[in-house]
């Protein structure tokens, strides 16, 4: 494993340890989703945003320039978080660090699962991962970065 891969994985793992919330209510889902919409509008980002707790969708928005394909990507990235319990970007990075790809080695249907950046676990102290927040429409590193920035702002409010 290269130093670059090791550093990237360590950074992604640190984000997950740091971004554990004290609670996550319906109102919190609305606030986080609204924050993401505001951020996307400021950047003219053509994204779709999805927030779920368990099997329930609590927030969804599609901004100008997004397409139905973004909703399909949301579902595929969200399933990776639900299966692995960590961000879709981290899952993909771990496969790449092993010299392979998620698509080649996970044995999961690529039409249903995508280990591309943009889906992040919503973790609550004492409860673990209880949901997901997903952004789709930008290059995967930018989708991931937007989610991280929003969670950092949200968690310090």
- pLDDT, tens digit (0-9, with 9 covering 90-100), for 107-136: 999 999 999 999 999 999 999 999 999 999
Q: What is the pLDDT of residues 45-82, one digit of tens each?
A: 999 999 999 999 999 999 999 999 999 999 999 999 99
Model's pTM, two decimal places? 0.95
Say how far apart CA 57 and CA 116 lie, in whole Å: 20
Mean pLDDT over all residues of the chain?
96
Q: Which residues contact 116 (CB under 8 A, 6 or more apart)?
A: 73, 76, 77, 88, 89, 92, 140, 143
| Domains within the chain, CATH numbers bracketed | 3-155 (3.30.450.150)
d(CA 99, CA 87): 19
Per-residue pLDDT, 126 = 97
Exposure pattern of 126-149 as b/e (b: 16+ CB <10 Å)? eeebebbbbbbbbebebbbbbbbe
């Amino acid at each position: 494993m290269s130093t670059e891969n090791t550093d990237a994985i360590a950074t992604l793992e640190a984000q997950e340890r740091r971004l554990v919330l004290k609670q996550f209510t319906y109102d919190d889902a609305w606030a986080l989703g609204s924050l993401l919409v505001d951020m996307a509008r400021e950047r003219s980002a053509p994204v779709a945003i999805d927030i779920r707790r368990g099997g329930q969708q609590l927030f969804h928005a599609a901004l100008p320039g997004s397409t139905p394909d973004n909703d399909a990507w949301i579902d595929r990235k969200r399933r990776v978080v639900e299966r692995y319990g960590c961000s879709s970007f981290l899952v993909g990075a771990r496969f790449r660090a092993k010299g392979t790809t998620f698509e080649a080695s996970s044995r999961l249907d690529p039409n249903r699962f995508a280990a591309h950046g943009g889906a992040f676990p919503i973790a609550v102290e004492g409860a673990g991962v209880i949901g997901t927040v997903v952004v789709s429409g930008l290059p995967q590193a930018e989708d991931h970065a937007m989610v991280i920035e929003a969670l950092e702002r949200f968690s310090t409010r």
